[in-house]
Amino acid sequence: LVLVGITGTNGKTTTSYVLASIFEAAGIRCGRIGTVGYRVGDREVEATRTTPEAPALHRLLREMVAKGSGACVLEASSHALALRRVDCLHFSAAIFTNLTRDHLDFHRDMEAYFLAKRRLFELLPPGGVGVINLDDRRGAALAAVAPRPVTYALDAPSDLRPGPLSLSLDGLAFEVRTPRGSLALRSSLVGRPNAYNILAAVGAAVALD
């Protein structure tokens, strides 16, 4: 099972849906675990929490394999990372969307919150892909941790960049420039935040072939 973990304050759910759709379009059945729900085979399961407790999580992944899934995208919450719910999973890639002020009722400060997010990249095996938003000020620190960093941004120099970005209420249209070539892309998702989410998903898909 090609397992991709997604962490960050905002954009995890949208990025997971976009990336899952890319796997499916490539003919790879893809499970999904996150805030909105869990997709296992053809079944949608109501989510009890963003990232389930470890025994439930392993059951879901095992059922995905049994039902023919070749990939899974997993939202890895800071709570789950701090509480070690995902410690024994074998991630092929990790995505970092951004870090903004949140969950300080659980994490004592922003540094502790960031360190929880960083654990996902520390769990990557040698050669594991870290897809990282360099427009976030914490991105460079994560790129230094990831075994194989792949960066994206709208403004900063990075591996994935958009060409001229067309924003309207009808959606997004832009060229994605990647190390493997350029893609002309159109989406009904709106706004700059979704341009980031799309770049993250494309970065992971390109890096994972």
Helix (H), strand (E), coil (C) string for 114-173: HHHHHHHHHCCCCCCEEEEECCCCCHHHHHCCCCEEEEECCCCCCCEEECCCEEECCEEE
pLDDT tens-digit map of 162-189: 988 999 999 999 999 999 999 999 999 9
Q: 191-204 pLDDT, tens per residue?
A: 999 999 999 999 99
Cα(167)–Cα(165) distance, integer angstroms:
6
Residue 145 scores a pLDDT above 70: yes
By the 10 Å C-beta count (0-12 exposed, 13-18 middle, 19+ buried), 110 is classed as middle
How confident is the model over 105-137, as pLDDT tens digits?
A: 664 777 888 888 899 999 999 999 999 999 999
CA 77 to chain CA mean position, Å? 11
pLDDT at res. 111: 80
Strand bridging mode 93-96 / 129-133: parallel
Identify whether the C-beta of residue 120 lies closer than 8 Å to the C-beta of residue 145.
Answer: no
Report strand pairing: 171-178 vs 93-96: unpaired
- Answer yes or no: pTM beyond 0.85: yes
Report d(CA 191, CA 38) in Å as an integer.
26
Work out whether strand 93-96 and strand 2-7 pair parallel, antiparallel, or are unpaired.
parallel
